[in-house]
Amino acid sequence: MTESLLALVASWGAYAVALSAFLSCLLVPIPTALVMLAGGAFAAAGDLSLAGVLAAGWGGAVLGDQTGYRIGRSFGPAIERLASRRQKAEATYTRARGMVAKKGGQAVFLSTWALAPLGPYVNFAAGAGGLGAMRFTLWDAAGEAIWVGFYVLMGYQFSTGITELASLLSDAAGFVVAAAAASVLGFVLVRRLREHPRE
């Protein structure tokens, strides 16, 4: 599968990166991280423009998130009914909806990179829950810059070992998510202590 994805990026270049990022934000099961790693590797080899790959990945991801947000805004009740037909989807959508209700734009930001598996569900929930379009867009664009930048630049930096890197990142995904969650929790605790030092 890795070889076929590399061939796809070699043939279609930044268009493959953009399309992959777009579709993955709409629950299409595509290994977009690997596609972005490949895009970065081809940029390192001089076959693609690094700026072009970054822009394509970011643009595709933001457009995919915007599409999910608009679907949620237009068809919120229908999405909830669809999710309720499968236990795992229902639990994930319920979690996403709770995050959006509690954290708003910050939930959107975290779902693009730190909690990426929740991303599409958060997009639907943000639209269905009435989160403001501008607020959604700003948080989403910032988060996607982190997600896309990380994978493309990793591919660029470690272009000679792209297959090994993809395997390593896949194995370390749980660690990355846990580290991100710990960082966010630490930031919140430090801020609370500064605001209420006597408590």
Model pLDDT, residue 190: 53
Model pLDDT, residue 142: 97
Model pLDDT, residue 5: 72
Model pLDDT, residue 141: 97
Model pLDDT, residue 159: 75
Model pLDDT, residue 175: 47
Range of the domain at 122: 2-195
Model pLDDT, residue 122: 97
Question: Over the chain (199 residues), what is each successive 10-residue block's mean pLDDT?
Answer: 75 95 94 92 93 98 98 94 91 96 96 94 96 97 96 87 57 48 49 57
Backbone angles phi, psi at 87, to 5 degrees: -60, -45
What are the structure tokens assigned to 53, written together? Answer: 């790959």
Distance of CA 22 to the CA centre of its chain: 10
Model pLDDT, residue 199: 47
| Long-range Cβ contact pairs of 73-82 (< 8 A, separation 24 or more) | 73/127, 73/128, 73/130, 74/127, 76/124, 76/127, 76/128, 76/129, 77/128, 79/124, 79/128, 80/128
Model pLDDT, residue 172: 46
- Number of structural domains in the chain: 1
Which of helix, strand or coil describes residue 29?
A: coil
pTM for the whole structure: 0.80
